[in-house]
Amino acid sequence: MRNKNVKRTIPLLVCLILILSTSAFAQDSNTVKLQGRVMSLDLYRNVMTVNEKVFVLDPQTTIKDEKDYPISIERLKPEAWVYVEGENNKVIKKLVAKKIYLLPKYIEKRERHLYPFME
């Protein structure tokens, strides 16, 4: 009887440890980096949606082209490809965009070495 309980308990403990450790490792960083299309852009509210993630644009947000030159925010349009680096702001509970790079197209993994900000 006791042997059966041990056989049931050990796999459950292993699963519990794995689940808890993966969630602990996933919370390593508050930094978000992603490539995607601009789904929506509201300059009045300073909000942009990329890959269904909503980013807040603040005065420190830098916007650059694929050659790392500064550009104006007016160059960002819906459906444009961008690479966004942001941080999860725990105070306002939103993603804040720190750097936005306007891309000419989707950048494949084999091409990313051509764009140093993506490495």
Segments making up each domain of the chain, as ranges: 31-118
- Please give the Cα distance from 80 to 2 (Å, whole number): 63
**Reported pTM:** 0.74
The pLDDT value recorded for residue 119 is 76
Taking only the tens place, the pLDDT of each residue in 25-69 is 444 478 999 999 999 999 999 999 999 999 999 999 999 999 999
For residue 18, pLDDT beyond 80? no
Domain 31-118 fold is OB fold (Dihydrolipoamide Acetyltransferase, E2P) (2.40.50)
Q: Is 64 exposed, middle or buried (0-12, 13-18, 19+ CB in 10 A)?
A: middle
